[in-house]
């Protein structure tokens, strides 16, 4: 008890799937992962740090707060950090976006 379990959501390589919010995508393993309470992170798990988030912000201009369901900018980061799950953003599946453009 005490220390929260490590979770893929706290990992540097974690993204939410753009088309299916219940799916997650690991940009390190390059595969979709389905999270559950029993799931433990892979050996390449790397806990995201404030420094990592700042670097992603400077590269991409924004981060995504899973808890709030919205993109956040640097000024808002401190409000979410520590309390919410803040990640680098969405993974956009090429195949899925092709399918949706065909559907249009
Ligand atoms: Zn938030």
Distance 103 CA to ligand 1 centre (A): 33
Q: What ranges do the domains of the chain cover? A: 8-103
Distance 102 CA to ligand 1 centre (A): 34
**CB contact at 8 A, 83 and 67:** yes
The pLDDT score that the predictor gives to residue 3 is: 53
Q: List, in sequence order, every residue forming a beta bridge with 81; answer none if it has no partner.
A: 84
Distance 16 CA to ligand 1 centre (A): 15
The pLDDT score that the predictor gives to residue 18 is: 81
The pLDDT score that the predictor gives to residue 36 is: 76
Scanning the structure block, which residue is given the tokens 């993109």? 71
Q: What pTM value is reported for the model? A: 0.72
pLDDT digits (tens, 9 = 90+) for 82-93: 899 899 888 877
Round to whole Å and give the CA distance between 15 and 89.
6
Distance 41 CA to ligand 1 centre (A): 23
**CB contact at 8 A, 6 and 41:** yes
Residue 6 has pLDDT above 80, yes or no: no
What SS3 class is residue 23? coil
Q: What angle do CA 91, 34, 59 make, to 5 degrees?
A: 25
The pLDDT score that the predictor gives to residue 64 is: 92
pLDDT digits (tens, 9 = 90+) for 28-74: 999 888 877 777 888 999 998 889 999 999 998 999 998 999 999 98
Containing 25, the helix (H) or strand (E) segment is strand 24-26
């Amino acid at each position: 008890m005490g220390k929260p379990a490590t979770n893929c959501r706290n990992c540097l390589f974690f993204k939410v799937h753009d088309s299916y919010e219940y799916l997650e995508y690991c940009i390190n393993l390059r595969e979709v992962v389905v999270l559950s309470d029993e799931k433990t992170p892979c050996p390449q798990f790397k806990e995201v740090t404030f420094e990592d988030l700042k670097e992603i912000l400077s590269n991409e201009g924004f981060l995504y707060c899973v808890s709030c369901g919205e993109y956040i900018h640097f000024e808002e980061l401190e409000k979410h950090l520590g309390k919410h799950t803040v990640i680098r953003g969405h993974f956009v599946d090429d195949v899925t976006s092709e399918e949706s453009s065909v559907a249009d």
